[in-house]
């Protein structure tokens, strides 16, 4: 049976929830991964307002849409980040930003993530995908030299802040899936391993697999799936294209998305260099049965064109399934 494909609503937060459902259903998506910003899913309304969760479920059902995960990237980013500054003020609700005092922001964000787990459970969702932030991302260039003790403190800070959050995830039967992504505590292969070690590989914490950031770092996304196969809790299909031509740099040069001088950029699924067939074959190899959602990002294409086209591309790869019989079985058949 072909895999079901959902649409992550993160880049559609300006679209009213009911309209978003109608669009996704009309394009043929099987479900949504709801972002916890805009008006797509409000954590506090879910916990405090009678009928809100029922309204979300009923609206999805009316449009023949399922939901298996929600996205809480923006709040998650503030939990470990250093420094906390105007970037965070721009992405956080006012009640979490408060007076902007850094530790207060982190603490309120942590409490909101706990509430996100509780709201997800009420919605019947098993995974929350998102970011963690990082107190040591600013050391990535390794100059001024970052002593090993400083890096160790960064992973300990992550564990100290996230273990109490994961206790709540365990209590309500929901898992958190970090998107391995620059600016997070886990941004590549080895930092993912170190992040899991920091929390003693507790089952409540896994991976939201998004291959777009593997590509521009020259990492093998299919190999990553295999090595972390017991931790792939959620999958987002996001596309990337590199243009490392001797002038365009891998770090982006502080240039905006879509600028041709960037060394890499996000493009609509099917228009980049992500090895989708390898990825889907590897998902089959690990018997991944979880959610898959298109995350549409492309500064050079209208989203109303890109989203339905991305679904068709994803459907083509999702149809790849293991053979019911070994192709060489006939060679050993008895006469």
Residue 208 located in a structural domain = yes
In a domain? residue 166: yes
Q: How many domains does the chain have?
A: 1
Report, as an integer, the average pLDDT of 138-149: 96
CA distance 105 to 118: 20
Tens-digit pLDDT profile for residues 298-323: 999 999 999 999 999 999 999 988 87
Tokens, residue 65: 């849409």
CB atoms inside a 10 Å sphere around CB 308? 18
Would you call 335 helix, strand, or coil by DSSP?
A: coil
In a domain, 285, yes or no: yes
| CATH code for the domain of 227 | 3.20.20.150
Provide the residue range defining the domain that includes 261: 6-332
Torsion of CA 28, 34, 38, 40, to 10 degrees: 70
Each residue's pLDDT tens digit, 239-290: 999 999 999 999 999 999 999 999 999 999 999 999 999 999 999 999 999 9
Band the pLDDT of 1: cuts 50, 70, 90.
low
Mean pLDDT, residues 7-30: 98
Q: What is the pTM of this model?
A: 0.96
In the predicted structure, residue 326 carries a pLDDT above the cut 80: no
Q: In 10 A of CB 253, how many CB atoms?
A: 12
For the segment 151-175, the average pLDDT, to the nearest whole number, is 98
* pLDDT value at residue 115: 98
Q: 168 in a domain, yes or no?
A: yes
| Mean pLDDT across 201-215 | 98
User: Does residue 54 lie within any of the structural domains?
Assistant: yes
Euclidean distance between CA atoms 115 and 303, whole angstroms: 31
Contact in structure between 163 and 183 (CB atoms under 8 Å): no
């Amino acid at each position: 049976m072909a895999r079901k494909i959902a649409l992550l609503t993160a880049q559609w937060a300006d679209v009213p929830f009911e309209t978003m459902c109608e669009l996704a259903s009309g394009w043929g998506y099987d479900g949504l991964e709801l972002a916890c910003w805009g008006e797509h899913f409000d954590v506090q309304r879910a916990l405090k307002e009678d009928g809100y969760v029922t309204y979300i479920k009923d609206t999805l059902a009316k449009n023949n849409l399922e939901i298996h995960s929600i996205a809480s990237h923006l709040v998650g980013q503030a939990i470990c980040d250093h420094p906390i500054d105007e970037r965070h003020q721009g992405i956080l609700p006012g009640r979490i930003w408060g007076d902007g005092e850094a530790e207060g922001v982190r603490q309120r964000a942590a409490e909101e993530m706990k509430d996100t787990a509780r709201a997800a459970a009420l919605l019947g969702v098993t995974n929350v995908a998102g970011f963690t932030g990082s107190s040591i991302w600013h050391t990535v260039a390794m100059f001024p030299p970052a002593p090993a003790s400083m890096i160790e403190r960064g992973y300990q800070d992550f564990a100290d802040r996230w273990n109490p959050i994961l206790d709540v995830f365990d209590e309500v039967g929901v898992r958190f899936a970090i998107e391995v992504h620059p600016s997070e505590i886990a941004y590549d292969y080895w930092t993912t391993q170190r992040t899991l070690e920091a929390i003693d590989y507790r089952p409540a914490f896994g991976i939201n697999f998004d291959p777009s950031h593997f590509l521009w770092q020259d990492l093998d996304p299919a190999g990553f799936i295999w090595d972390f196969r017991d931790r792939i809790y959620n999958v987002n299909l996001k596309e990337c294209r590199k243009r490392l031509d001797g002038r365009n740099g891998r770090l982006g040069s502080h240039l905006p998305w879509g600028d041709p001088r960037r060394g890499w950029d996000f493009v609509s699924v099917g228009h980049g260099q992500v090895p989708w067939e390898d990825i889907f074959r590897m998902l089959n190899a690990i018997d991944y049965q979880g959610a898959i959602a298109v995350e549409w990002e492309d500064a050079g294409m209208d989203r109303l064109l890109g989203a339905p086209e991305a679904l068709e591309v994803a459907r083509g790869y999702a149809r790849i399934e293991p053979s019911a019989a070994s192709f060489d079985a006939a060679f050993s058949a008895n006469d």
